[in-house]
Structure 1
Amino acid sequence: MSRTSEIKLTSFSHGGGCGCKIAPAVLEEILEKIPHHGHHPDLLVGVETSDDAAVYKINDDQAIVATTDFFMPIVDDPYDFGRIAATNALSDIYAMGARPIMALAIVGVPVARLPTEVIQQVVAGGAAVCRDAGVPIAGGHSIDSPEPIYGLAALGLVHPQKILRNNQARDGDAVILGKGLGIGIMSAALKKGTLSAAAYVQMLSSATQLNTVGSRLAGSDGIHAVTDVTGFGILGHLMEICRGSGLHAEIMLSKLPLLPEAVTLARDGYATGAGERNWASYGHAVNLPKDIAPWQQTFLCDPQTSGGLMVTCAPETATSIVALFHQEGFLYARVIGSLKEGTPEITVN
């Protein structure tokens, strides 16, 4: 057994993946009194609607999309950690309808406690994903930190008229989810040493699938709002769409795509602390059925690391958009609900 295979990256951190994100309610409180820099005519997307990335207009045909995303290990294998983190970071570019063009690596490691080859494998995993996306890693920044951290600052290009936003949903829209849910549940089992080999493969396959379909969605007829589902869970990111668009969402519990291995784990009681914090942040605005099982509620606020895109679209275009997801290899994609006029809340049926 090699020295690197004996090291469990998750043991170095108090959280992992997008479960590291600050809870929605706490983040809202932090940002509440931060002054905005005022109107800038070329800043097309800023902090106002909690969108996935910032967008700055360069000219009439091009806008730059900028984002940064990094977190602590969600898996023990350093190469896989790098792949997941890079896939997750690039997802914000795709969620805006853009094509990624460049990335900078963000690296923080306890240098005295991790062998150099482990750090190299993390960076190599991220580089492999960027290579698959056709993106060069053009530099970055590294620090000596008490917990391992990896991610990217990513840049992309999009036409100013084809930006996908999270606050443009319309009354009557169908809601589509592109990936299966359950990554946080699986990560909880992994941290306890009980995740099966089959479940790990399923988790890794989902978390390293680039949301390239986002670039194809830009400019498509009927697309109104898009975001990606990550640390705040499906309800948290749908709530951002509801608040930004001033609409009420209804989702069907029976239609949610659930990763099969995660269902077994959820039924056995596996869950994350981040999921509990998520529910504490927005549960007051969610109407649940009286007969919902605890394991089903777990999926609703389960933090997704490198989760799928959530799309709202005109109902007559939903079938073709789901077909587009399937063509791109997102076989779990399906319609999960709809939007209507009303209080920005979510009803689960």
Structure 2
Amino acid sequence: MSKLKISGQSEYSSGFETFDDCSIYKINEEQSIIQTVDFFTPIVGDPYTFGQISASNSLSDIYAMGGKPLFALNIVGFPSDKLDLSILSDILQGGIDKCNSANIQILGGHSIKDDVPKYGLAVTGLIDNEKIITNNNANEGDDIILTKPIGSGIIATAIKKNLADEKTYNHAVKVMKDLNKESSGIMQKYNINSCTDVTGFGLLGHLSEMCKGSNVSARIQYKKIPLLTNTENFAKKDIIPGGSKKNFEFLKNIIQFHDSFGLYQKLILSDAQTSGGLLISCNKKDSLNLLMELNKNLDYKASIIGEFTNKKNHSIYCE
């Protein structure tokens, strides 16, 4: 991507050249259009649930930047010669119902014949120019707040291997289905400086992007990071997706882990997430109040997992 030749236009305030979650196109002095796209193969067996999770995941980038989604378009790949079209109908209905929860409609889309099912959304949103929340404005001394537990990549792998019990499955599915809409609305009441959502690059990957863009480092505490049910148990048994291991290999030279860390803990922090939570950089004077309001309104516990520091030799220090 670094070799692509991008033409510069003043209307674009975010694009390939940044690590931001959405593209941003300024339409006037007050507002900008924001846009994002995401799709993937099923991570659960139930088509309707898959549709809900994928739609929630696709909407997440809009919420991470403090925007309001306006509408969405379906992106579909489906093996119509192998699977009954009722499965596709269930996937699409899951997406529709989740978008209804976000108060938007799916206005169309595009489908192709594919070897395996794929589903996601292209989402268009609107944002006030003075309220755009980027992932490159974290300040030294800011607290780091994570709004959802991590471990969905590991749990999804366990689900595919039929190793996850009902409690484990239900916890992971609920977290992945839940929109970041409420968390986004709450955080915008407070003095936050930066935000991103935790998805395919894992907690460490997305946190390292914040550090790089903001020219800071971060210090986090493993014991304060919320985990999905049985994440550690499966990680200790090496039930870990290949993408999470690749994340770790890519990141390991810019992360300093305490000597007490086991490999399974490093891989949990690198675990590729689906529809993960918001990772918020918040001024210390507001962080406890923000955390209290999040935990009052969410069905799972948000946590202050560390803080941003001055720029050091490593991007992230894990204790």
TM-score, with structure 2 as normaliser = 0.96
Cross-structure match for 2:200: 231
Q: After the TM superposition, which residues 31-50 of structure 1 pair with which residues of structure 2 at under 5 Å, given as runs?
A: 31-38=1-8, 40-50=9-19
2:229 paired residue number:
260
Match of 1:302, SS state, is coil
Q: Provide runs of 4+ in structure 1 moved above 3 Å.
A: 217-221
Aligned-partner Cα distance in 1 for 2:271–2:83? 30
Q: Using a 3 Å threshold, how does the CA distance of structure 1 residues 269 and 215 change in structure 2: closer, same or farther?
A: closer
Helix, strand or coil: the match of 1:151?
Answer: strand
CA RMSD, aligned part only? 1.4
How many positions carry a matched residue from both structures?
318
Aligned to 1:281: 250
* Secondary structure of 2:230 counterpart: helix
Aligned partners of 2:304 and 2:22: how far apart in 1?
Answer: 25
- 2:167 partner amino acid: A
TM-score, normalization by structure 1: 0.88
Question: How far, CA to CA, are the matches of 2:17 and 2:145 in structure 1?
Answer: 24
- How far 1:218 sits from its partner (Å)? 6.4
Which of 137, 152, 156 is the aligned partner of 2:106? 137
Query: What is the SS of the residue equivalent to 2:77?
Result: strand
Instruction: Note the 1:1-349 alignment, pairs <5 A.
Output: 31-38=1-8, 40-217=9-186, 219-329=188-298, 331-343=300-312, 345-349=315-319
Query: Are 1:55 and 1:66, in contact at CA under 8 Å, matched by a contact in 2?
Result: yes
Q: Secondary structure at the match of 2:76?
A: strand
> Does the residue aligned with 2:174 lie in a helix, a strand or coil?
helix
Indicate if the aligned counterparts of 2:186 and 2:294 stay in contact, CA closer than 8 A: no
Residues 97, 217 of structure 1: 8 Å contact kept = no
Question: Which consecutive unaligned segments of at least 5 residues does structure 1 have?
Answer: 1-30
User: For 1:297 and 1:339, how far apart are their aligned partners in 2?
Assistant: 19
**Does the 8 Å contact 1:88/1:306 carry over to 2?**
yes
Percentage of matched positions with identical amino acids: 38
Letter of the aligned partner of 2:38 in structure 1? D
CA distance in 2, matches of 1:36, 1:217: 36
Q: Distance in 2 between matches of 1:218 and 1:155?
A: 21
Query: Which residue is equivalent to 1:23?
Result: none
Kept in 1, the 8 Å contact 2:221–2:318? The answer is yes
Structure 1 contact 98–218 (Cα < 8 Å) conserved: no
The one-character-per-residue Cα deviations of 1:105-157 (angstroms, maximum 9, x if unpaired) are 00001110110100110111111100111010000000001121100000111
Q: Which amino acid aligns with 2:163?
A: T
Query: Partner amino acid for 1:304?
Result: Q
Counterpart position of 1:11: none
DSSP-derived class of the 2:25 partner: strand
Deviation, structure 1 residue 42: 1.8
In structure 2, stretches of 5+ residues that fail to align are none
Deviates more, 1:321-330 or 1:270-279: 321-330
